[in-house]
Chain A
Amino acid sequence: MNVLVEAITDMREEDAVRTAKEMLDKGTSPLEVLDNCREAMTIIGQRFEAGDCFVPELILAGEVLRQISEVVKPKLTQTVTQKKLGRVVIGTVEGDIHDIGKDIVTFMLDVNGFDVHDLGVDVPAAKFVEEVKAFQPQVVGLSGFLTLAYDPMKNTVQALKDAGLRDKVKIMIGGGQIDDQIRQYTGADAYGKDAMAAVALAKQWVGG
C-alpha cells in the first residue's frame, strides 16, 4: 500500500498531511495525491461497512482530507473530473435539525462514487422540489431523527408528486425512528436502516 494511503487509513493524521506535502514538494502531481486520498477514503468506507471502523474514524479521515485538499488545491492546474455513478439530492426534512446520520450517508455515497448534493438540515419540501428540478438526481434521500419527521417526509414526497417529479426519482428515507411502517406512511420507495443500506439502494436504483 502507498505510504499516503496507509497513513490516512491508519488514522495517523500528522503523518498523512506531512506525507502529502512531501510528495508535492518532490514533484508528485497533485492529481496523484488526490487519487491516493480517494483510494484511502474508499478503504475507510469499506471498513466502515464491515464494522471495522466507526464514526470517529470517518470524521478524522474527513478532517485529514480537508487539510490535504488545502495543500493540493493551489497546485492544481486542471479541474478534476471523475465519472460518477449517479446523482443524489439529500437533506434532513423541515423541522428537524439533526445532521449526523445524513452526513454519514453523504460520506458513504460520496466515497462510493455518487455525486451528492447535500441541502443541509430543516429543508422545506419546496426546496427539495427546486433542487430536484435543477440538479436532476436519480435518487432523493430524506433524513430525519425525530418522530416529527414523519409528516414533513410525507409532505416532501407529496410535493415532488405535485410538481410532476415523482416518476423521475427514487426516494429513500432514513433516520432514528424510521421503519417500513413509516416508509408506507410517507410514500417513499424504500427506507434504509444505515448508511450502507442507503448506498446499496442508490446503486440498485442507478443500475450500478
Chain B
Amino acid sequence: MTTKPYADPDAGKTPQQLYAERTKRMADALQLKQPDRIPIQLGFGYMLAEMGGITRQEQHENGAKEQELLEKAALQFQPDSVMGLFNNPGASVALGDRMTKFPGHGLNPNGSFQFVEGEYMKPEDYDAFIDDPADWSIRKYWPRVFPELEGLALLPPLGIGAFGAYALPQLGILKAPPVVKALQALGRAADAQAVADARAVNSVQRMAALGFAPPTFMGSIAEAPFDFMSDTLRGMRGIMLDIHRRPDKLLAAMDKVLRLQLEYAIAFHRATGLTTCFIPLHRGSDGFMSLAQFEKFYWPTLKAMQVTLVENGIMPFVFYEGVWDQRLKYLVELPKAKTTGLFQFSDIFKVKQVVGGTMCIAGGMRNSLLQAGTADDVCELTIKLCREVGKGGGFIMTTGIGEMEGCKPELVKVWVDTTKEYGVY
C-alpha cells in the first residue's frame, strides 16, 4: 500500500474556522454522534523534547520552550487537539515527594516520569484512616511521603479546631521550627503549582488561538476507589493482601474515598466550569484480580463514581489502562453517551462491538507501530480503525496511551493524514 499525494482538507482555513470545526468535531464524537470526520488528538508528551532536541527535564521545567515546541508540532501535523506533558515536577520537588521521580530529580535529565509505588499506608493505619481521613493524611501520611512536611507530625489532632476559642492555645505549635519549615515548604509547593496552572491555562488559550480544540483530559482527576487505596496508599502488594486479610476495612475505606473524591470533583467543576473528570484506571485491568473480586472490590464504586459525576454534569474521561477484554460487559451498565473510554491494549475492534453504543471510544493506534513499524503498517491499521471503530461516529483517533515518546514524526504524519483521508463520514 502506498499513500497518494496528500491534499490537506484544512488548508486555507482561518484559525477561528478551524477552532470552531475542531471543537464541534470533538464534541460530536464525545457525545456519541457522527461528526464530519474522525477527530484526532495527539498527546505528544516527551516526543516534543525529541523533536526539539532538548532534555526531558528542560521540557518539564521550561514552560515557554515546551509551548514553542507544542505549537510547532501542532502546526506541522494539524490534528484536532494536542497535548504536551500532563504533569509538572514543581510541587513534588518542593516537598521532596518520595512517590514520584522526574527527569533531573531522581532520574537522569532524559529519564521518563515515573510513579514510585510503596506501602505508604500500613495495615494498622486502616482504622485511623477510616475514622478521619483528613487528620490521618495531614499528620501521619504527608510526613511519610513528603520529607519536607515531617514537621506536620507535631500538629495536634486537626479536629481539635472544633473546640473554637479553647483550641487557640494550640496555635503556638505553628511556631515550632519543624512546623515552620513544613509550612514554608507548602508555600513553595503552592507557588510552583500556581506557575504550573498558569502555564496550562495559557497553553490551552494559545492553542485555541491557533485553531486547536482543548484536549479531552482537561478538568479534575479522580481514581477508582480501589486504585486510590492501592496507588498512593497501600501499594500493589499491600492491597492484594488486603483483599484476603481485611476485605471489610478495604471496602469501608473505599467508600470514604469515593465520597471525598466526588465532593472534590463536583466542587472543581463548579469552580472552574470544566466538564471533564479524568479517571486513569490501574488494577481493574484483566489479569490482576478475578471477576468475582472485580465485582466486589472494583466495579461497584467505579460505576457509582461515574454515575454520580454524570448526574452532576461532568463527563468521566476514563483511561482503561491495560486490557479490559474480559470486563467490557460491565461498561455497558454506564449511562449512554455520557462517558468516554480511552483504551490502551484492549482489542479495540471488540471494544467497538461491545461498548460502541454506550460510550465514545478513544485510542486505536499502537505506540509501538509509530516507533518501530513501517508507513504501510501504519496506513493499514489506520484505515481499518477508520472503517471499523470509526463507524457511525463516537470515536477519537489517538494513541493507546496519551504519550508519544519515541514515535517517529514521519509515521505520525502518515497516521494523521490517512485518518483525515479515510475518516470522512
Which residues of A are interface residues toward B (Cβ below 8 A)? Answer: 11, 13, 53-57, 59-60, 63, 95-98, 100, 146-148, 150-151, 176-179, 181-182, 184-185, 194
Contact = CB atoms under 8 A, between A and B. Distances in A.
Interface string B272-307: 000000000000000111100100000000000000
Contact of B290 (A53, A100, A147, A151): A53
A181 B114 contact: no
Top 4 nearest A-B pairs (CB, nearest first) are A185-B372, A56-B240, A148-B112, A181-B368
Contact of A56 (B111, B293, B367): B293
Interface residues of B, number: 33
Interface of B: 101, 107-108, 111-112, 114, 116, 236-237, 240-241, 243-245, 287-290, 293, 322, 345, 366-369, 371-373, 377, 401, 403, 405-406
Contact of B372 (A98, A146, A182): A182
B368 A177 contact: yes
27 contacts: A11-B244, A13-B245, A54-B288, A54-B289, A54-B290, A55-B240, A55-B288, A55-B289, A56-B240, A56-B243, A57-B244, A60-B241, A60-B244, A95-B111, A95-B112, A147-B371, A147-B403, A147-B405, A148-B406, A150-B372, A151-B406, A177-B401, A184-B372, A185-B368, A185-B371, A185-B372, A194-B287
B366 A181 contact: yes
Contacts of B345: 176
A165 to B, nearest CB: 24
B403 A176 contact: no
A79 B198 CA distance: 64
By DSSP majority rule, is chain A's interface helix, strand, loop, or mixed?
A: helix
A54 B288 CA distance: 6
A177 B367 contact: yes
Contact of B287 (A54, A179, A184): A54
A148 B405 contact: yes
Contacts of A100: 236
A176 B290 CA distance: 19
A98 B369 CA distance: 23
A146 B101 CA distance: 14
Contact of B240 (A60, A98, A181): A60
Given A11-B244, A182-B368, A55 B287 contact: yes
Contacts of B289: 54-56
Contact of B114 (A55, A97, A151, A194): A97
Contacts of A97: 101, 114, 116
A100 B293 CA distance: 19
Contacts of B401: 147, 177
A63 to B, nearest CB: 7
A56 B114 CA distance: 24
A13 B290 contact: no
Nearest to B112: A148
Candidate in B107, B289, B368 with the most chain A CB atoms within 10 angstroms: B368
A59 to B, nearest CB: 4
A22 B137 CA distance: 42
A61 B114 CA distance: 29
Contacts of A59: 237, 240-241
Contacts of A56: 240-241, 243-244, 289, 293
Nearest to A62: B237
Contacts of A98: 114
Given A59-B237, A97-B114, A181-B372, A147 B367 contact: yes
Contact of A181 (B101, B288, B290, B373): B373
B282 to A, nearest CB: 10
B406 A181 contact: no
Contacts of B368: 147, 150, 177-179, 181-182, 185
A146 B112 contact: yes
Nearest to A14: B245
Contacts of B244: 11, 13, 56-57, 60
Nearest to B242: A56
Contacts of B322: 176
B174 to A, nearest CB: 37
A157 B245 CA distance: 42
Contact of A147 (B241, B287, B377, B406): B406
